[in-house]
Amino acid sequence: MANFRISLFLLLWTISYSVLAEAGVVAFSVGETSVKKGQLIEVGQTITTGGNGHVHIRFIDGAKLSLRPNTVLTVETYQYDPDHPKNNRVKLFLEKGVARSVTGEAGKLNNEGFRMNTPISAIGIRGTDYTVITTEKMTRIMVSSGGVGISPFDKDCQPEDFGVCNSPNLVELFEGDSHLLEINHPRDRALLINLDSALQNPDLYQQDDYSKTLFLDENARLPDDLSTNNTPQIGWGHWNRYQPVLGELFIPMTPYLSTDWRVVSINQFFGLFLPDKDPELPKTGQLDFSLDRYQAFGIVDNRIETAQISNPNLTINFSDRSFQASFNVTSASISTVLSGKGVIDNIGFLRFSDASSRFSGALNQDLTQAGLLFEKTLNDNQRVLGSSAWIKK
């Protein structure tokens, strides 16, 4: 009888501990939300946002999660064991709304132990920064880095499982693929949606994590238009929701939504476009580029600050299919350096990402111009991002 009581006590203690275990902390909260900045997030907790609510969560393994308005998400499991990565288990349930997830060490060390479920599907990762939009009958995914796999729930894919489902209905999406994934109940598998179509219907993709009440810092220096190029082949525009915020600085995407242009990359503010013609890359040699024009912003809490670029450098090395980019970005409240060595694929797309920074862009057909989106996260409340056009020296 005594052994039974001890066993029962240990079982109840284990259950209690697993439910109440700390998973993370609220790094940012604004508007109508169920949590406040600095509040601990526990396993089993449900976080909700109202019509103007935004929440950023930093988890114990360094993972980041951003929730946009009208979102409901539950942290079902969060077990991080850095000494025994195979024990790592993370499970999130996005009931509705929009969430952006940046994988932490738990998922990086054991992606088979990570799962995000929606009401109709299971999402596994390949070391990833991705955004999910979901309702009871639809889920859409956009990948910023890494890759994801999505499957509808069926006999081969159950909500209680972890990792990517081993299902014939699995569909995967990776960084650099110009598509969204969409799955609708009761469809058997996800569909790939071309980003050009998504851009023509912006409601398909709203990745930004910021409130519509953001304002432009009028004291920050305006971005320079340095262009001396008579035939620019690099274009960019902003998501429509930023028009009231950016005012005269707003650039519509509409002129680029034609068969003559293709979308090369997108981030929270920008879509980057080049003419729809692939370059023929040489096998050897190097090209140096100078900055032609750009638009850059600093994000500080709920404020957007215009920013300037200085000390720009961009070098393309065809021998090892790499590029090196670096420059300073300065706004009223932020001064930082972006630098990275990335890869060039066989059609001239440029890609680089690390723990805090990202470059993505492409070369034009005759290799005389390049477009590059960039972003860098300094901390939970500060980041810079922008778009740039470069010309061969």
Domains of the chain, by residue range, sit at: 20-204, 215-392
Q: Are 388 and 267 in contact (CB under 8 A)?
A: no
- Say whether 215-392 and 20-204 share the same fold: no
What is the token pair recorded at 354?
């690390």
- The pLDDT profile of the chain, 393 residues, written as one tens digit per residue, is 444 444 444 444 343 333 448 999 998 887 889 999 899 999 999 999 988 788 889 999 999 998 888 899 999 999 999 999 999 999 999 999 988 898 999 999 999 999 999 999 999 997 678 888 888 888 888 887 788 889 999 888 999 999 999 888 888 888 766 667 888 876 667 777 665 555 555 444 444 444 433 445 444 434 444 444 556 789 998 887 777 777 778 888 877 776 578 888 887 788 898 988 889 999 999 999 999 999 999 988 778 888 999 999 999 999 999 999 999 999 888 999 999 999 998 889 999 988 889 999 999 999 999 999 999 999 888 999 999 999 999
CB-CB contact of 141 with 165 (8 Å): no
Q: How far apart, in Å, are the Cα atoms of 150 and each of 34, 67, 118, 167, 247? A: 29, 20, 10, 10, 38
Cis peptide bond prior to 152, omega within 30° of 0: no
Q: Which fold has domain 215-392?
A: Porin (2.40.160)
May I ask the CATH class of domain 20-204? Answer: mainly beta
Question: What pLDDT is recorded for position 368?
Answer: 95
Q: Which residue has the tokens 């890494």?
A: 146
Residue 6's SS3 state is helix
Q: Measure the CA–CA gap between 110 and 101, rounded to whole angstroms.
A: 16
Tell me the whole-structure pTM to 2 decimals.
Answer: 0.57
Phi/psi region, residue 285 (left: phi>0; alpha: psi -120 to 50; beta: rest), is left
Which of 34, 57, 59 is closest to 47 using CA atoms? 34
